[in-house]
């Protein structure tokens, strides 16, 4: 049960972070937002490191794995998600992103030996279908001119899954979720700032509202990653990944309260029922 609670916490934080991102993108570009959100989480982790880090017991192989994860997660995944949302819209990008648990379960089976049972496989499939239905609640077909951007959300989904599998492998060597988050976010912070210097032709405009929203987003996403890593230390990827993927439930609820543009449709109701049913099946197992 401890694993499920941590995974649900990660899901809730991720879902809330998507809503704060929505408000932040009203004031800053995607890259500028990433240059605020990711370093904000990294700075928070470094500030807390004297209380939670024990470098004396570090394992070099685990540090290398955490750094490898940080080279693409959250940096590359964040940029791919932001740009994919802008090119394709949240409907298509969100639907493709909902397939992350399938890749994570497959990767865990191939590289970690975590072969899911029939019950877990059915529950994961139900959760994926439910989150896809939630993400497609206001969707439409992809225009021909946009199909060239489909690789972005697919790549983001694959990289998210790979991050979960590699992090689980690193945590098996050094059981320090805080170290995994601190190292990963530190590497990603350097990457997003380097990407900004290489791609921004002019000095990006930062304003207080945009910085505040994306700083909050960084804290929420950082806490979500930390909760997910703690869940991975107590449970398998085949359980954690599907539960974390239920974040559209929280995004939908908060959007209805704060943004007020979501309408309850048969698709949304069906998505909620499928997602909740899948999670209940996992918990029951």
CA 151, 225, 232, 70 torsion: positive or negative? positive
pLDDT tens sequence across 140-163: 555 555 567 788 888 998 999 999
Q: What is the pTM of this model?
A: 0.88
Q: Distance between CA 94 and CA 91 in Å, rounded?
A: 5
What does the pLDDT read at residue 285? 63
Whether 23 and 213 have beta carbons less than 8 Å apart is answered as yes
Report yes or no: 18 and 247 within 8 Å, Cβ to Cβ. Answer: yes
**Residues 116-136: pLDDT tens digits?**
888 888 889 988 888 888 766
Q: Tell me the C-alpha distance between 26 and 23, whole Å.
A: 6
- Tokens at 42, concatenated: 């990294």
Other beta carbons within 10 Å of 8:
20
pLDDT score at 137: 52
Contact criterion met (CB below 8 Å) for 31 and 224: no
Task: For Cα atoms 56, 72, 88, give the angle at the middle one, nearest 5 degrees.
Answer: 150
Query: What are the tokens at 180?
Result: 């995994």
Low-confidence ranges of the chain (pLDDT < 50): 138-139
> Do 32 and 205 contact (CB within 8 A), yes or no?
yes
Q: Tens digits of per-residue pLDDT, 242-276?
A: 999 888 888 778 877 776 655 667 777 777 788 88
Q: What is the pLDDT, as a whole number, of residue 131? A: 84
CA 79 to chain centre: 12
């Amino acid at each position: 049960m401890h694993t499920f609670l941590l995974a649900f916490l990660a899901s809730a934080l991720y879902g809330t972070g998507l809503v704060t991102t929505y408000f932040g993108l009203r004031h800053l570009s995607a890259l500028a937002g990433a240059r605020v959100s990711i370093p904000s989480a990294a700075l928070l982790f470094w500030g807390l490191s004297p209380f939670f880090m024990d470098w004396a017991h570090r394992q070099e192989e685990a540090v290398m794995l955490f750094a490898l994860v940080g080279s693409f997660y959250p940096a590359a995944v964040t940029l791919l998600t932001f740009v994919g949302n802008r090119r394709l819209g949240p409907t298509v990008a969100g639907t493709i992103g909902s397939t992350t648990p399938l890749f994570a379960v497959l990767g865990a089976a191939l590289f970690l030996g975590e072969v899911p049972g029939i019950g877990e496989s059915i529950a994961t499939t139900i959760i994926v279908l439910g989150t896809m239905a939630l993400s497609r609640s206001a969707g439409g077909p992809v225009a021909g001119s946009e199909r060239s951007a489909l690789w972005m959300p697919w790549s983001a989904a694959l990289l998210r899954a790979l991050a979960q599998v590699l992090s689980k492998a690193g945590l098996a060597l050094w059981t320090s979720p805080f170290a995994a988050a601190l190292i990963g976010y530190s590497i990603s912070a350097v990457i997003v700032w380097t990407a900004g210097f290489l791609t921004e032709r002019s000095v990006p405009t930062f304003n207080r509202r945009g910085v505040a929203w994306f700083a909050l987003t960084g804290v929420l996403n950082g806490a979500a990653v930390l909760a997910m890593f703690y869940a991975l230390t107590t449970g398998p990827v085949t359980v954690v990944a599907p539960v974390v993927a239920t974040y559209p439930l929280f995004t939908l609820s908060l959007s209805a309260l704060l943004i007020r543009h979501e309408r309850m449709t048969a698709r949304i109701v069906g998505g909620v029922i499928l997602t909740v049913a899948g999670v209940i099946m996992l918990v029951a197992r």
